[in-house]
Amino acid sequence: MTVHRIMGIESEFGILAPQNPTANPILLSSRAVLGYGQEVFPSRRQRMRWDYDVETPLRDARGFDMSRADADPSQFTDEDYGVANLVLPNGARFYVDHAHPEYSSPEVTNPRDAALWDAAGDRIMAEAARIASALSGEELVAYKNNSDGKGASYGTHENYQVKRATDFSSLVRHLTPFFVTRSIYAGAGRVGIGQEGTTPGFQISSRADFFEAEVGLETTLRRPIINTRDEPHADATQFRRLHVIVGDANMSQKMVFLKMGATALVLSMIEDGFLKPAVDLSDPVAAMHHVSHDIDFVHTLQLQDGRQMSAIDIQRHYLECALFYVKSRECDDEQTLAVLEMWGQTLDALAHDPSTLKTSVDWIAKRNILDAYRNRDGLHWSHPRLAAIDFQYADLRTDKGLAYILQTSGGLETMFTTQEIHKAVICPPEDTRAYFRGQCMRTYSDYVAAASWDSVIFDLDINQDLTRITTPDARKGTRALTEDLFDGLSASQFLHELQSLRQSAIR
pLDDT digits (tens, 9 = 90+) for 442-495: 999 999 999 999 999 999 987 788 999 999 999 999 999 999 999 888 999 999
**Residue 300: which residues within 8 A CB-CB, separation 6 or more?**
308, 309, 310
Alpha carbon distance 362, 154 (integer Å) = 18
Does 65 participate in catalysis according to the annotation?
no
Question: Given 51, 80, 97, 230, which residue is catalytic?
Answer: 97
% of the chain at pLDDT higher than 70:
94
Residues 363/187, Cβ–Cβ less than 8 Å: yes
Residues 435/478, Cβ–Cβ less than 8 Å: yes
Instruction: Determine what percent of the chain falls in helix, strand and coil, rounding each to the nearest 5.
Output: 45, 20, 40
Confidence of residue 55 (pLDDT cuts 50, 70, 90): low
Alpha carbon distance 288, 364 (integer Å) = 18
pLDDT at 71 over 60: no
pLDDT at 76 over 50: no
**Residue 277: which residues within 8 A CB-CB, separation 6 or more?**
none
pLDDT digits (tens, 9 = 90+) for 324-374: 999 999 999 999 999 999 999 999 999 999 999 999 999 999 999 999 999
Which of the listed CATH numbers 3.40.50, 3.30.590, 3.30.980, 1.20.5 matches domain 7-423? 3.30.590
pLDDT digits (tens, 9 = 90+) for 200-222: 999 999 999 999 999 998 777 78
**Sequence ranges of the domains in the chain:** 7-423, 433-505
- The single-letter code of the amino acid at 213 is A
Confidence of residue 70 (pLDDT cuts 50, 70, 90): low
Instruction: Say whether pTM exceeds 0.75.
Output: yes
Average pLDDT, the chain: 93
Tally of CB atoms within 10 A around 258 = 25
